[in-house]
Amino acid sequence: MPRFAANLTMLFTEVEFTDRFAAAARAGFRAVEYLFPYAYPKNQLAEILQACGLEQVLHNMPAGDWAKGERGIAALPGRVGEFQDAVGTAIEYATALGCRQLNCLAGIRPLGVAAEKLHETFVANLRFAAQQCKAAGIRVLVEAINTRDVPGFCVCGTQQTLDLIDATGSDNVFAQYDVYHMQRMEGELAATIQKHLSRIAHIQIADNPGRNEPGTGEINFSFLFALLDRIGYAGWVGCEYKPRLTTAEGLGWWTPWRG
């Protein structure tokens, strides 16, 4: 049966961030993920995780100035030193939190920069991150994001993601497959997951349209979850959706899959 992790950036937003861990545990989640831990001392978050009996399964590497619209720096020429420092910070946090996966966001293509240069920069940075993270026992993930929600994002399809991973030559880089983003970009969710199962280390979910909870849109999640169970997907499924009302009111979809 698939294992579900609460995304605390999106869920339980009715309470302060540090209180969302306990809210997730009370709702029955055994694991959490979220965008960034860096606004809080790592020891504080580690203590909260332990007190709530939760596993931290994913967070992102630092991704530039999020408030100003940046969505990653890994593919951006001229930011390599900043990226390398960010990798070190991410490893420190992940190690303290017991988190064994870090998502590396490519970023939005700057005007006037050739696609080839972005590709070259991203591959080199992924190689660096993969080497540093492997030494710490942490996997690096690459996520494709739809360009309707995030225009100009450098990585926007499954095959592009896999080609980038291949270009690194590393055995420590995997795909993070976001169902919502890939439904918007290419569809064929079940066939894609099944074909590339060995290369997908983490899955995230939200329905489309609206990016709300499963059952509110066009995706057949009952079929998809059954498929994950049947083909033996062993990773976590991150619940990265926006509840239409409150988080608790939107958790009915999860009842058959709670285990």
**Residue 240 annotated as catalytic:** yes
106 within 8 A of 153, measured Cβ to Cβ: yes
255 within 8 A of 4, measured Cβ to Cβ: no
99 within 8 A of 58, measured Cβ to Cβ: yes
Active-site residue (options: 33, 55, 213, 240): 240
**Residue 47 annotated as catalytic:** no
Rounded CA-CA distance 147/169 in Å is 27
Active-site residue (options: 143, 186, 213, 218): 143
DSSP E strands: which ranges in 182-223?
A: 200-205
11 within 8 A of 3, measured Cβ to Cβ: no
Rounded CA-CA distance 48/61 in Å is 20
Rounded CA-CA distance 87/138 in Å is 11
Task: Just list the catalytic residues.
Answer: 143, 240
